[in-house]
Amino acid sequence: GCSSGNNAAPAANGGGSTPAPAPAAEASGGEINAKIGVVGFLSGSGAAYGEAQKAGLELALGELNEANKGKLKMELKFEDSGGEKEGAINAVNKLINQDNVVAIIGPTLSGEMFAAGPVANDAEVPIFGISNTSEGINDIGEYVFRNSLPESIAIPTAMKAAVEKKGLKKVALIYASNDDFSVNGYKVMKATAEKMGLEITGEATFSNGDVDFSAQLTKLKQTNPDGLLVSALYKEGSMVVKKARELGITATILGGNGFNNPKVFEIAGPAADGLIVATPFSPEKQDDKVQAFVKAFEAKYNKKPDQFAAQAYDSLYIMSQSLLGAGKAEREELRGQLAQLKDFNGVSGKLSFDEKRNPIGDAVVVVAKDGKFVPFE
Ligand code: 1QQ
């Protein structure tokens, strides 16, 4: 990687501090043309996250370009980060310097955003996370936004429900120590456990890419927890769940945002049953907007949308609203509009923002049952 490229501003900026006009802005006969970059985990161990996001975005794109005819035409330019920080940095640089995008949606992982967000922020290009749930994302800078519900809201909601309904008293924790998202989730789980007065019987770590979790889980089993808290992406997380059951761990298992993808059922199989997770989106929600989205998604892709598709879908509606508000496809005006966003009613729930532009919203708690997530009650 070329690290000097990381701070690259658009060429027109000349290194000065005045924001360059976004070259993506081209009005043709009153219609705003907006090229938006997308950085997704589209290949590798978390590709199902990126695929869900791409599907949600493309569905929204079709609907919006139809609805906005004559006023706004959006175009999406997808880049695959492979779930790697370096990949995300390269993708962001390319989208800004070669494709001249007006804004970027993604990247998928919190760690990727921590690495690539500053590149966009320094270049004064709005970058909008749709699945970054770690603390500190918005602290990167004022060009960084997100609509993804932070784990600091989701995890305590799930843990409260689990403690209430399952009577948990003693919990063990396991997490991927080389992934920013997983580490953040672990910290939230631990702080919440302490706050709730739960006993922590043990802790263990693994790395993304690991396939054998027996040693860690055997050790945790001996501490006899009644709850097992897992902070991981779906691949490793689902293997941990499967192995835990194989080893005879009967504890209630609770996971973070990484489990909100149907791959969990493919990898863990029936061992997923009973897994508790919080999510801002459920395709079962009896709400007209949600059901219209689910129906359109099923018609296009022949499957139900997950949370990642829903948040991606919402993000393009937010972009559309903000671009129309700006009246042109320019980075600075778009940033101003995004910063003003107060309440947004999307398929992944009602969204508002705190003073640091962190999303505030409600999570629903779901439990895995027979190959799908159902309300936990
Ligand atoms: C993050 C996440 C992951 C689960 C996204 C796929 O929430 O990296 O913040």
| 231 touches ligand 1 (CB under 6 Å) | no
Same domain, 56 and 132: yes
Look at residue 11 in the predicted model and tell me its pLDDT: 39
Same domain, 254 and 315: no
124: in domain: yes
Rounded CA-CA distance 313/334 in Å is: 18
- 4-18, 27-41, 360-374: range with lowest mean pLDDT: 4-18
| 110 touches ligand 1 (CB under 6 Å) | yes
Q: What is the DSSP string of 51-102?
A: HHHHHHHHHHHHHHHHHTTTTEEEEEEEEE-TT-HHHHHHHHHHHHHTS--S
| 257 touches ligand 1 (CB under 6 Å) | yes
Residue 256 CA, closest ligand 1 atom number: 4
Same domain, 17 and 95: yes
| 258 touches ligand 1 (CB under 6 Å) | yes
Spacing, Cα 133 to ligand 1 middle (Å): 6
Answer with the one of 229, 254, 279 that is the final residue of a domain: 279
Same domain, 253 and 299: no
What is the band of 2 on the pLDDT scale with cuts at 50, 70, 90? very low
Same domain, 106 and 175: no
Look at residue 16 in the predicted model and tell me its pLDDT: 40
372: in domain: no
Same domain, 15 and 140: yes
Rounded CA-CA distance 203/171 in Å is: 9
373: in domain: no
**What tens digit of pLDDT does each residue of 148-199 get?**
999 999 999 999 999 999 999 999 999 999 999 999 999 999 999 999 999 9
Same domain, 143 and 178: no
Look at residue 29 in the predicted model and tell me its pLDDT: 61
367: in domain: no
Same domain, 192 and 266: yes
- Give the range of the structural domain holding residue 206, as residue numbers without chain letter: 151-279
User: How many structural domains compose the chain?
Assistant: 2
* pLDDT above 70 as % of the chain: 92
| 144 touches ligand 1 (CB under 6 Å) | no
Same domain, 9 and 144: yes
| CA distances (Å), origin 301, targets 26, 255, 352 | 32, 27, 30
Q: Is the peptide bond before 126 cis (omega within 30 degrees of 0)?
A: no
**What tens digit of pLDDT does each residue of 308-352 get?**
999 999 999 999 999 999 999 999 999 999 999 888 999 998 888
Look at residue 199 in the predicted model and tell me its pLDDT: 98
20: in domain: yes
Same domain, 162 and 255: yes
Rounded CA-CA distance 344/318 in Å is: 8
Same domain, 17 and 142: yes
Strands 103-105 and 31-40: parallel
Spacing, Cα 71 to ligand 1 middle (Å): 34
Same domain, 97 and 216: no
Spacing, Cα 41 to ligand 1 middle (Å): 10
Residue 112 CA, closest ligand 1 atom number: 8
Spacing, Cα 277 to ligand 1 middle (Å): 14
| 279 touches ligand 1 (CB under 6 Å) | no
**What tens digit of pLDDT does each residue of 45-89 get?**
999 999 999 999 999 999 999 999 999 999 999 999 999 999 999
Look at residue 28 in the predicted model and tell me its pLDDT: 53
53: in domain: yes
Which of 108, 128, 184 for mutating ligand 1's site (highest number of atoms within 8 Å of CB)?
A: 108
377: in domain: no
Look at residue 350 in the predicted model and tell me its pLDDT: 86
Q: Which 8-state DSSP code applies to residue 4? A: G
Answer with the one of 229, 244, 279 that is the final residue of a domain: 279
Whether ipTM exceeds 0.95: yes
87: in domain: yes
The distance from CA 351 to its chain's CA centroid, rounded to whole angstroms, is: 15
Q: What CATH number does the domain containing 235 carry? A: 3.40.50.2300
| 134 touches ligand 1 (CB under 6 Å) | yes
Residue 46 CA, closest ligand 1 atom number: 6
